[in-house]
Every structure is written in structure tokens, then in C-alpha cells.
């Protein structure tokens, strides 16, 4: 087994696990109100769930970063073009950037909400909101990766699924600022739904890479990357 083959399989496995965890996080997270006071009430009323969800998010984002780093060092078809190499770098950086949001929302944010300290909550929420922009660019990077897959031979995921992932990545990229920066109510729902669809595709993509990256060379039976 070559370094390239090992890299694709391992990256695919971590990507699948990260995506499955992220789907669970998004379902548990739900859409967010745009007003800070409403956000604090929401967090204070479900602080235990909020803490668990965001520790799981931190784990998921860490695994996204691991998958991205492995892809970048595997020298495979996934990074043959400058835009796909750049997209995987953004996935890695975006995941690391957003992981600090998840940690803050699992620790300082619920503590401030439970204490009813609006000033402290606002400060930590602003920090978390700023760092969460990393997820926007992670989503945009996934759209680029999915677009590259859609233009390919239809493996490991079919073109129609990859095009849906492109739309989902763009939707997640646009939905967050619409909901959180501009107060458009539908923006938070768009971000949540699009991020969930995107996570389902990255799970499918990662799982397929982990299972199908290695083929048998017919004349010799030696394994090689197609």
C-alpha cells in the first residue's frame, strides 16, 4: 500500500467520523435567534445540552482538521489542482478556527448565561460569533471540493449528490451572515439545513474514500490507486 493510498483511506475515515458527529451537533444545536438576550435565554434554559453539543462539535472540527492535513500531505488526485489544494487548506484552517468557538460555547458562554451576566455573555458571544466565521469558509471550501467531484467521473459519489453539496456549501456560507449579522430570520434556518445536507455529503464522500480508494491491479494482484 502506497503513502497516497494510505492517506486517502485514512483521511476518508476521519472525514466520515467528523461529518457524522457534525450532523449530530447540528440536529442538537438548532437555529439561533438573532437577538443577544434571546440567545442568552436559550443557552441558559438548555445549558447541559448546549455544553454537550459544543464539546462534540469541538471533537468533530478537530477531526475535520486532521482529515484536511492528511489530504494535503497525501499527494493524491484530491489536491491535483490549485483550487482543490487551497480548499482543503481552508477546510483545515476553518475547522481549527471554529473549534475555539465550540470550546468557548461549551465553557464560558453557558457559565455566563446561567449566571445571568449579560455583559459577560455578550463579550464571550461576540468572541464565539467572530471565530465561527471559520465555519462559513469551511462550508465554501466544501462547495469547491464537491464541485470538483461533480466534474469528475462520478466516483466516489455521483455527480448529482456532489452538485447538491455545492448548493449546500454555498447555502451554509450565506445563511450564517444573513441570520447572525443581518438579523434575517430565515438565514439561521438556511445555515442549519444547508450545513446538515453538507455534512451528509461529506460523510458519504469520506466513507466512500475510505472504502474504495484502493483497487486491485489485475495482472499482478498488487494494490494501487486508480
The pLDDT of 121-131, averaged and rounded, is: 93
Q: Identify whether 217 is part of a domain.
A: no
> Is 71 within the bounds of a domain?
yes
Among 69, 73, 76, smallest CA distance to 94 is for 69
Residues 6+ positions from 134 with CB-CB distance below 8 Å:
93, 94, 95, 96, 97, 98, 101
Q: Which of these, 187, 184, 206, lies nearest to 195 by C-alpha position?
A: 187
Give the domain range for residue 36.
Answer: 3-212
Q: Is residue 62 part of a domain?
A: yes
Backbone angles phi, psi at 46, to 5 degrees: -140, 50
In a domain, 218, yes or no: no
Structure confidence by residue, pLDDT tens digits, 72-87: 999 899 999 999 999 9
Global pTM reads 0.90
The three cell numbers of residue 168 are 449546500
33 within domain boundaries: yes
User: Does residue 201 sit within a domain?
Assistant: yes
**76 in any annotated domain:** yes
For residue range 97-107, what is the model confidence (pLDDT) as tens digits?
Answer: 999 999 999 99
Q: State the total domains in the chain.
A: 1
- Does 181 map to a domain? yes
Amino acid at each position: 500500500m502506497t503513502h497516497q493510498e494510505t492517506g486517502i483511506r485514512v483521511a476518508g475515515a476521519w472525514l466520515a467520523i467528523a461529518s457524522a458527529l457534525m450532523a449530530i451537533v447540528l440536529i442538537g444545536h438548532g437555529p439561533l435567534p438573532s437577538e443577544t438576550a434571546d440567545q442568552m435565554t436559550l443557552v441558559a434554559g438548555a445549558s447541559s445540552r448546549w455544553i454537550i453539543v459544543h464539546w462534540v462539535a469541538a471533537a468533530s472540527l478537530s477531526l475535520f482538521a486532521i482529515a484536511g492535513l492528511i489530504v494535503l500531505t497525501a499527494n493524491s488526485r484530491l489536491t491535483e489542482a490549485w483550487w482543490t489544494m487551497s480548499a482543503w487548506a481552508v477546510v483545515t484552517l476553518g475547522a481549527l478556527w471554529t473549534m475555539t468557538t465550540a470550546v468557548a460555547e461549551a465553557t464560558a458562554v453557558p457559565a455566563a448565561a446561567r449566571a445571568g451576566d449579560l455583559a459577560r455573555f455578550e463579550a464571550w458571544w461576540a468572541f464565539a460569533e467572530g471565530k465561527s466565521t471559520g465555519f462559513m469558509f469551511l462550508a465554501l471550501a466544501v462547495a469547491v471540493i464537491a464541485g470538483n467531484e461533480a466534474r469528475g467521473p462520478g466516483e466516489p459519489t455521483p455527480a448529482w449528490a456532489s452538485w447538491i453539496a455545492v448548493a449546500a456549501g454555498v447555502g451554509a456560507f450565506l445563511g450564517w451572515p444573513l441570520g447572525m449579522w443581518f438579523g434575517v430570520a430565515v438565514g439561521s434556518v438556511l445555515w442549519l439545513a444547508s450545513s446538515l445536507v453538507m455534512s451528509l455529503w461529506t460523510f458519504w464522500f469520506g466513507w466512500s474514500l475510505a472504502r474504495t480508494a484502493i483497487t486491485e491491479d489485475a495482472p499482478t494482484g498488487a494494490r494501487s490507486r486508480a
